[in-house]
Structure 1
Amino acid sequence: MNALLEPLQYSFMQRSLMVAVIVGILCAVVGCYLLVQRLALLGDAISHSVLPGLAIAFLTDTNLFIGAFIAGIISTLCINLIHTRSNIKEDAAMGIVFSAFFALGIILITTIQRENKIDLSHFLFGNILTVTFNDVRDTLIIAIFVLVVVGLLYKELLFYSFDKLGAQAVGLPVKLLDLSLMVLIGMTIIASLKSVGVILVLALLITPAATAYLLVKRLHQMMFIAVGVGVISSISGMYLSYFYNLPSGPAIVLVATGLFILAFLFSPSQGLLTVNSKN
């Protein structure tokens, strides 16, 4: 018990754990939509596309959330514009935008680091132990907004996720739902930047959702289990980071991956070992 309570005596750990739990919940919920729609590449594209926004925000001494949000929205609109106004498929549009924005971000970060003699690697890999109260507040605001929108549009997003043509046939605004989902994904990635950074955020989006996908069939059940996996991974990763002096973002991702491996091996309906033993 003392080991569990020890990290909580430090204010930086309290803030870090709060952000980790919020991000674990948020990524799990939004990640379920990414998984069932097979849009993992979209999450990867948007996560890398916020990098120039982070660099410009740092250069102009602006809130990093604002810079990342603007870059994420611009990249989302670019992907949507290329996909809807040309014959280029969505995955190709993601690849074009993702690579261009990421390249621009790397150039900006390299230039800033060279001229100011500072290290900005936390943009890529996260540094949750440095979160401030303002970071906690901003992350919570984004999370509440995204979760409220998901709750309000749950039925529409459910129908749209599993039968896009059917949703269009009954009159649902499919293009608007497409854009809305992209914006929600972008905001989720922005909220997660301090925790795991640009490089690892996709793992936190997809791995808890994939773990839940192996265990249950219905979307709402999948979301609840994914949230549990996300929260457990975030808290466990933070404690491992504290006690073993590990980088927090990778520790969180590895715990989530470990839980996925357990589900992959022992899922009652799809587990590699359980299904083989039944046969």
Structure 2
Amino acid sequence: MLTWLLEPLSYEFMRNAIAIGVLVGVLCPVVGSYLIVQRMALLGDVIAHCVLPGLSVSFFFGVDILIGAFGSGLLGAFLIAWIRSQSRIKVDAAMALTFSSFFALGVTLITVLKNKIDLDSFLFGDILGVTIADIHRTSIITVLILLIVKLFYKELLFYTFDQTGAKAIGLPINVIYFGFMATITLTVIASMKAVGVILVISMLIGPALTAYLLVKELHQMMGLGAIIGVLASVTGIYISYYYNIPSGPAIVLVSSCLFILALLFSPSQGILTRSDAALGIFRRLSGSQNRNERPNSPS
């Protein structure tokens, strides 16, 4: 068992993959917890696709892709808010339009500018190809976001559950909104190398949603979600190493399996452990047993 655990660590690319996997596993559920309680889970996926035009432009001009991706992601978030404020269009429709438009623009720019971007790596991640520079960048983003959440936890909590009340007491809700969008964009950028933009929504939502079924408080949800995220990341990387399957999808599948287990067996919300469900199953089994044991009536 010890050899099974230590063998992958003899390779530098595996050590780098586990390091960035742990960082992403902690960061994504913390941010994703806010998305879940605000019922904006798909926003992470929208922002993930909005970064593609900025990524393409940055690559063409030889600028750090973080700058272009960050600006493009914020532009997408601003467009969603502007459409909502200037029309009767609901948020889901605004997100769908922005999602498709930015993604189409990004693919077009890649073709027109003849950028040699590895789309497979961008879409599905390449965690086994991360460098020390990627780890340093992700570490800085992770520490920065966790520090912001720690410092402004009460304000974010109030804004999350009662935006009208937050506005009434004088909190700058517009600043908080765009700050939150910036946080999501940075989280997506930090996670792109690990799982790619298509699968990043699963890391944002999966571990946090699993924790949501197990605990009741937001801070507990973020803490437990981070633990689940790290477990899913490390386990997925090991499965990828030993069974030769893509690392990003392996991480996501482990996260999904953990969610299914929580959905079935959560002490308070599990399908199979709820008192009414357990009682129903017991009654059905008892009824079946009684019918089987009942003697045949005389002819």
- What TM-score do you get using the length of structure 2 for normalisation? 0.88
The corresponding residue for 1:31 is 32
Distance, in Å, in 1 between the alignment partners of 2:219 and 2:100 is: 34
Secondary structure at the counterpart of residue 119 of structure 2: coil
Look up the SS of the partner of 2:49 in the other structure.
Answer: helix
Structure 1 residues 68 and 34: alpha-carbon distance in aligned structure 2, compared to 1, 3 A threshold: same
Deviation by residue 1:187-216 (Cα, 9 ceiling, x = unmatched): 111110001101000010001111011011
Deviations 1:73-127 (A, max 9, x none): 2212222233334443333322222111011112233556xx5777431111110
Q: Which runs of 5+ in 1 are unaligned?
A: none
- Whether 2:272 is the aligned partner of 1:273: answer yes
Question: Could you tell me which residue of structure 1 aligns to residue 239 of structure 2?
Answer: 240
Inter-partner Cα distance in structure 1 for 2:92 and 2:119: 29
Partner in structure 1 of residue 3 of structure 2 = 2
Sequence identity (%): 56
Q: Name the counterpart of 2:110.
A: 109
Report how far residue 146 of structure 1 moved. 1.0
2:6 partner amino acid: L
Q: SS of 1:50's equivalent?
A: helix
Alpha-carbon deviation of 1:173? 1.6
Confirm or deny: 8 A CA contact 1:50 1:72 kept in the other structure: yes
Q: CA deviation at 1:132?
A: 0.9
Query: Is the contact made by 1:40 and 1:206 (CA closer than 8 Å) also made in structure 2?
Result: yes
Residue of structure 2 equivalent to 1:199: 198
Q: In structure 1, give the amino acid aligned to 2:105.
A: L
Give the distance between the partners of 2:223 and 2:64, measured in 1 at CA.
32
Question: Does the 8 Å CA contact 2:14/2:128 hold for their aligned counterparts?
Answer: yes
Partner secondary structure for residue 242 of structure 2: helix
- CA deviations on 1:30-85 (whole Å, 9 max, x unpaired) are 00000000001211110111112222233333333233212112212222233334
Following superposition, the deviation at residue 24 of structure 1 comes to: 0.7
Output one character per residue of 1:151-185: Cα deviation in whole Å (capped at 9) or x when no partner. 11100111111122222222222222111111111
Mapped to 2, the partners of 1:116 and 1:43 lie a distance apart of 25
Q: Contact (CA 8 Å) 2:60, 2:115: kept in 1 or not?
A: no
SS at match of 1:215: coil
Residue 56 of structure 2 aligns with an amino acid whose one-letter code is: A
Q: Mean Cα displacement is larger for which, 87-96 or 170-179?
A: 87-96
* Alignment partner, residue 214 of structure 1: 213
Separation in 2 of the partners of 1:105 and 1:209? 29
State how far apart, in whole Å, the 1-side matches of 2:58 and 2:272 are: 49
- Counterparts of 2:117 and 2:194, CA distance in 1: 20
CA RMSD of aligned residues (A): 1.7
Which amino acid counterpart does residue 134 of structure 1 have in structure 2?
A: A
Q: In the comparison of the two structures, how many residue pairs are matched?
A: 277
Max Rg structure: 2
**1:11, CA displacement in angstroms?**
1.1
Distance in 2 between residues matched to 1:264 and 1:210, nearest whole Å: 10
Residues 1:12 and 1:121: Cα distance change in structure 2 (over 3 Å): same
Answer yes or no: is the 8 Å Cα contact 1:54–1:123 preserved in 2.
no
The answer for the alignment partner of 2:222 in structure 1 is 223
